[in-house]
A and B are shown apart, each in its own frame.
Chain A
Amino acid sequence: MNAAVVGVGYTELSRCSGRSVLDLAQQACRSAVADAGLHPSDVDGIASFMLMHDSVPCQAVASSLALPQTRFALDLQLGGQAPCYLVWLAALAVTSGQADTVVVYRALNGRSGARVGTMAFPGAGAQHRYPIGYDAYLMYCAMWGQRFLHETGQGELDLGAVAVGQRRWAERNERAYRRSPLDLGSYLAEPYVVEPFRADDCTVEVDGACAVVVTTLERARHLRHPPAVVASGAYRAGPRPGLDIGDHLLWDDYTRNYTSWLRDDLFGGAGLRPTDVEVAEIYDCFTSTVLMGLEGLGLCGRGESGAFVREARLPLNTHGGLLAEGYLHGMNTVAEAALQVQGRAGDRQVARRDVCVVTSGALMDGSALILTTDG
């Protein structure tokens, strides 16, 4: 692959932006382009995703940024599975010359507008869930989490380790929505929302936008910041991924998500192994997703993820994750990965930053990237 992430942009993350989604999108994209040391007229590709029309299409951003033309555009009807996938597709596009510079964004009024947590997803599986009160994405992840903890011999202390560990990082992130310290005692004292999840096991829905800029490695080497090289990427759905985003009944094993399925291609594509990873940004709409991702990617052994997190064996979700920074569906997880590899993460910068793995998605399907330093 011959592509790199060269810039990131964010809006403020808030409970009520008071702004249109398009306004959030154009600001994040404009910021990311400027951060890279580029001008909007350098951009000729756009990629984004939305669920149930909670965002704006790429053409609206092309108009808002007054792009001279768009050579590559991609609107996906997906949620948190999409960010790594889109960056990977953008990398393929610039590598193959379909575009020179692509901006990838996620924008939504996820708190004050359409809230994904309580959206009724259409599809043939929906009729079996919503009428019986099995009606939130959180419940589906909880269903998997329960079985995962049972089979791997783990429990609430392991979920709590994720929430507590990530909050320590969030204390150093001025963007994070949840920044107050969290200890295990306070975590365990919270009531359940949907057992086994308490409030601090769950991401916080916010209004906001995030964007990253992808261009060729040759171009990247002449820009403002060191490139975060896209070393490899993969999307994967295992067999029988269901009839819609919330239909998990056909999936065999609730203890292994898409990360188990894409691991070999992801690391093989980069010529690296899990033991080479120096920083990990694992999609975390809920705490159990982090544990499952660590085990699925082979960063630790089966049943060892809780201890792995508790002992802080690897810098993990260094922005506080979606749990603490806010739910931009993992676009911000990719942006954090780029910042770390570029050495621009400020107070939360990790010392060893040559190899970062980042994931997008929680259940049957999802995607991942390996970002590396140049050279």
Chain B
Amino acid sequence: MEPLVDEDSRAYWDGLRAHRVVLQRCPACGRTRFPPMPSCPSCGTPGADEVEAGGAGVVYSFVRVHRSFSADHAAEVPYTVVVVELDEGCRVLGRIEDHGRAAIDDRVTAAYVDHATWTELRFRCLR
């Protein structure tokens, strides 16, 4: 299953294809946000500037998937999905590389997995 890219998220997915994390930043309040959307969910200002994030952050929470819910991912269990609070201040989703584990407050950095038509953001634990 590939992402259903829309007008708001195209820059994000294009960025990942180039192994860059491109986020939206509010031109008024300066907060970064994710997922991409047409206006700032904190102050309501329409529009966004694009900023490149460093890709590093801290694990806010995680789940470890032992039983798959879709045929696409059945062969990949167990895997860990993390919510990462990026250093730029917003949270993103991604899997830990391979079958790796993670814990809350772990420091992680972006890793990229190139699929045929899109690139997935994953994370590597910095221990």
Q: Which residues of A line the B interface, CB within 8 A?
A: 117-118, 124-136, 138-139, 142-144, 146-147, 150, 191-196, 239-240, 243, 247, 249-250, 254
Contacts and interface: CB of A to CB of B under 8 A. Distances in A.
Contact of A134 (B34, B36, B67, B81): B81
B41 A240 contact: yes
B95 A131 contact: no
Nearest to A117: B69
Interface string B30-69: 0001111100011000000000000000001111111111
Contacts of A243: 35, 37
A129 B93 contact: yes
Interface of B: 1-6, 8-9, 33-37, 41-42, 60-70, 72-73, 76, 79, 81, 83, 90-95, 104, 118, 120
26 contacts: A124-B35, A125-B35, A127-B4, A128-B34, A128-B92, A128-B93, A130-B1, A130-B70, A132-B120, A133-B79, A133-B81, A133-B95, A134-B93, A146-B61, A150-B61, A150-B104, A191-B66, A194-B64, A194-B65, A194-B66, A196-B63, A247-B35, A249-B35, A249-B91, A250-B33, A250-B41
Contacts of B93: 128-129, 132, 134, 249
Contacts of B79: 133
B121 to A, nearest CB: 8
Nearest to B7: A124
Nearest to A127: B3
A248 to B, nearest CB: 8
What DSSP secondary structure best describes chain A's contact surface? Answer: mixed
A139 B6 CA distance: 24
Contacts of A118: 69-70
Nearest to B118: A131
Contacts of B2: 131
Contacts of A134: 81, 93, 95
A146 B63 contact: yes
